[in-house]
Amino acid sequence: MKHAVIFDMDGTLFRTDLILKLALDETFEHLRKNGEWDGPTPIDEYRKIMGVPLPVVWKTLLPQHDEQTREEVDAYFLRRLIKNIQNGNGALYTGVLELFEQLNHRGYPVFIASNGLVAYLQAIVTHYELDHWITETYSIQQIDTLDKGDLVAEIVNKYELQDGFVVGDRLSDIMAARANGLTSIGCRFDFAQEVELKEADYVVNHLSDILDIVSKKTTSL
C-alpha cells in the first residue's frame, strides 16, 4: 500500500464540542451529588487540553482525587459521551462523508488514529456508518505508551505504508506524522491552536481542501 490518509477523530472529523459540555456537565453533576466536587464544571480547562489521552485529562481536572475515583469518573464520562452520540447530539464536520467517498474513489485508504477510547470511537463509527469508507480504526487504548506517534506507527507497519498523511487539529497529530515520515495536515477547527498549527506541513480551514493537497502531493512523488 503506497499512500493512505490517517485522520484524527475529535475536532477533526467529529464535532466533539457539541457533546463535550453536555457529557462533562453530567459527569461533574454526578460528582457533586456524591459530594466529590464543589464548583462549576471545568469546561475551559478541558478545552485547553483537548486531544490528550483521558487518563491525562482526569489527572489534570481532578488533581486532588485518587486514582480509583478518576477511573470511575472516566468510565461514567465515557458512558455519557456514548449516550449523547447515540441520541444524535453530536455531528460530523461538514464534508466528512464527501471527502471519504472521494478519497476511496481515488484509491486512498482511510484510517482513524485517535486518543479516544475504543467504545467511544466505535459509537461514532457506528452511528454515522463510517465503516463503509474506513479501512480500520485505531484507539490509543490499544497501545501501552499512549503516544499517538506509536499508534500511527502501528498502521504504517501493519499496512506497509510507503507514504501518507496524518490529518488532525492538535500538535500530537502533527508530531505523529513527523515521527513516521508522513505529511501532516493541520485543521484550523474548534480546538486547534495557532502555535501548534505552525508545525504542520499544510493547514486547512475546511475538509474540502484536503483532497487537493493529497492529490497534488502524491502526483508529485
The secondary structure of 93-160 as a DSSP string is: PTTHHHHHHHHHHTT--EEEEESS-HHHHHHHHHHTTGGGTEEEEEEGGGSSS--HHHHHHHHHHHTT
pLDDT digits (tens, 9 = 90+) for 49-99: 877 778 889 999 999 999 999 999 999 999 999 999 999 999 999 999 999
pTM value is 0.91
pLDDT digits (tens, 9 = 90+) for 95-107: 999 999 999 999 9
pLDDT digits (tens, 9 = 90+) for 1-41: 578 999 999 999 999 999 999 999 999 999 999 999 999 99
What Cα–Cα distance (Å) separates residue 114 from each residue in 65, 76, 151, 173, 215? Answer: 26, 20, 8, 9, 24
The mean pLDDT value of the chain amounts to 94
